Amino acid sequence: MSLQSPDSNLLERLLIHLKVGNRKPSQKALAELVAAFVTRVPFENVSKLYYMKHHNLRRLPNLEQLIEGIERYNFGGTCYSNNYCLHLLLAHLGYDVMLCGADMENPDVHLVNMVSLEGREFIIDAGYAAPFLEPLSRDLKQDYVIALGRDRYVLKPKDRNGNSRLELYRDGHHKHGYMAKPVPRQIEYFARVIEDSYCDSSTFMNALLLVRFFPDRSLVIHNLSVIESQGMDYHIHQLRDRDELPKVVEKYFSIPREIVSEAIAELGEFGDAWS
């Protein structure tokens, strides 16, 4: 599996969509790029379901498909597509960036970017449906905490092996997390886990999750729940049934309702996207 050599013209189109320029690598430029990507490219699995149905796609979309989807349909993607697209963009801009695996219940089922810049290391993760609107420093002396609504993300200092643990707490209870490992990988390394993510039993074949972030708030559609968070406050609105989803997704994410209808028709019984 490969997305082939990245087309610089496509990546420049993405920069235009993100409303950021092609600037020399710096911590300031990196922070602005990450904020732009996370706030303008949502985490969502509608596109995953849609591409599988229309193109029998069981791998990553190619770069042209990814960028056309972002521009035309307001798509984003899940962890593999979002973080790999961002990886290509970072490399295009001249950053020293590694694509790295992260362990959850199983090894290397998540991927992140790690950037070395000005003597420091950062995790860049636009694929965890989390408010990581800035590079996450790996040279921590104590826990680094990001809180939004009912969620609390805790990044731990590196362990003795140089790995970084990220923990998600929801309503005060440990919900999810991963261990990111600073070992450079090629995207082909993740081919099997990406293919497995299209299995009938996999998470995003049995759950709907769309997340978009703003500088101080977030909007989440998780199955039939619409969750709006700002600061430490949040509100959950429950939809009546699946029939409401296309209209609600179009309203909040600007993904055409016809596409949403086709995509959710492929979903099995709703499960927990963070299971």
Q: Where are the alpha helices (DSSP H) in the chain?
A: 8-18, 27-40, 46-55, 63-73, 79-92, 191-196, 245-253, 257-264
The structural domain count of the chain equals 1
Average pLDDT over all residues of the chain? 95
- Rounded to 10 degrees, what is the CA torsion of 118, 90, 214, 154? -60
CATH of the domain at 77: 3.30.2140.20
274, part of any domain: no
246, part of any domain: yes
**pLDDT bucket at 7, cuts 50 / 70 / 90:** confident
Residue 54 is predicted with a pLDDT of 85
Asked if pLDDT for residue 3 goes beyond 50, the answer is no
| pTM, 2 dp | 0.95
> Distance between CA atoms of 122 and 34, rounded to whole angstroms?
11
Give the percent of the chain with pLDDT over 70. 98
Domain extent, residue 256, equals 8-264
Residue 66: count other Cβ atoms within 10 Å of its Cβ. 25
Residue 5 is predicted with a pLDDT of 59
Asked if pLDDT for residue 4 goes beyond 70, the answer is no
Give the mean model confidence (pLDDT) for residues 126-155. Answer: 98
What is the per-residue pLDDT across 225-249, written as a single tens digit (0 to 9) for each? 999 999 999 999 999 999 999 999 9
137, part of any domain: yes
1, part of any domain: no
Half-sphere exposure of 44 (CA within 13 A, CB side): 34
DSSP-derived secondary structure letter, 273:
T
